[in-house]
Homo-oligomer: A and B are copies of this chain.
Amino acid sequence: MTKDILQMKNAPASDKVGRYEFLAEPFHCDCVGRLFLGHLGNHMLNAADFHSTARGFGMSYLQTINRAWVLSRLAIEMKTMPRQNERFTVETWVESAMRYFTSRNFHIVGADGVTIGFGRSIWAMIDTQTRQPTDIFSIGDGAINQWIEKDKPCPIEKGGHVKMPDGAELVRSIDTYYSDVDINGHINSVKYIEHIIDLWPLEWHLGCQVLRLEIAYVAEAHGGDRLDFWRVDTGPREADVEVRKNGAETVCRARISFI
């Protein structure tokens, strides 16, 4: 996270920016009372859907026309995490939209009104029958364009391309079950975040917090797929992780760093 964050004044909310308050529920917090990053990610996805639903392009509407948003990339950078029972706010807005991708940003604000983190995400829209990308501008005659907010800052880097260098090791394999599968029939995006963070032992997390996680979703996995986690440490508190399904195809790649 850049040092700008500490100095940055929270921009005034506009109707292009959605603001949603969430509670760091006790059982969504880790053994030292911090909200799990996976649950934060889930709240960010909820905020994205609340924001898009209120503006006419949410998931429920898209389902009626055989369309769905698919999360392609997500980056989260946190100075601190919400604490147990803290009410924090997720702001979200569309930074840009192209025919096949849209970029949505997040600003996470603690109960005291101070910035605690930011997020960036990239989404595609697919036809749920053909599973092929479709034209985002076809929804409401390009309606998304009226909601683009270019001026609100999001001072974290965009996600880079994580390529797995030589030396990655297969560190864990897990099976997937009913509870891992979402309404779209795929392994839930947030489950990957949980599994990746679980590659570090409990004791590691007592002294460390995730500073930044970026994850690129490459292919969909389904219930019953076996997921292999390949990891290479790129520094004392940094690693790249690649998840493959059924011994072969890449499902997602992530880069993680801790403080």
Contact = CB atoms under 8 A, between A and B. Distances in A.
A183 interface: yes
A31 B205 CA distance: 32
Contact of A181 (B30, B188, B190): B30
Nearest to A60: B85
Contacts of A198: 177-179
A29 interface: yes
Contact of A205 (B30, B46, B178, B200): B178
Interface in A44-92: 45-46, 49, 59-60, 84-85
B38 A179 contact: yes
12 contacts: A25-B42, A26-B46, A27-B45, A27-B188, A30-B181, A30-B182, A31-B182, A177-B198, A177-B201, A178-B202, A178-B205, A201-B224
A36 interface: yes
Contacts of A29: 182-183
Nearest to A185: B31
A46 B31 contact: no
Given A30-B183, A33-B183, A46-B27, A178 B190 contact: no
Nearest to A222: B202
Interface string A114-146: 000000000000000000000000000000000
A60 B45 CA distance: 28
Contacts of A25: 42, 46
Interface in A174-227: 177-179, 181-185, 188-190, 194, 197-198, 200-202, 204-205, 223-224
A52 to B, nearest CB: 12
A68 to B, nearest CB: 11
Nearest to A199: B177
Ordered nearest first, which 7 A-B pairs have the shortest CB separation? A177-B198, A202-B223, A179-B194, A31-B181, A178-B202, A178-B205, A179-B198
Nearest to A184: B31
Nearest to A224: B202
Nearest to A49: B26
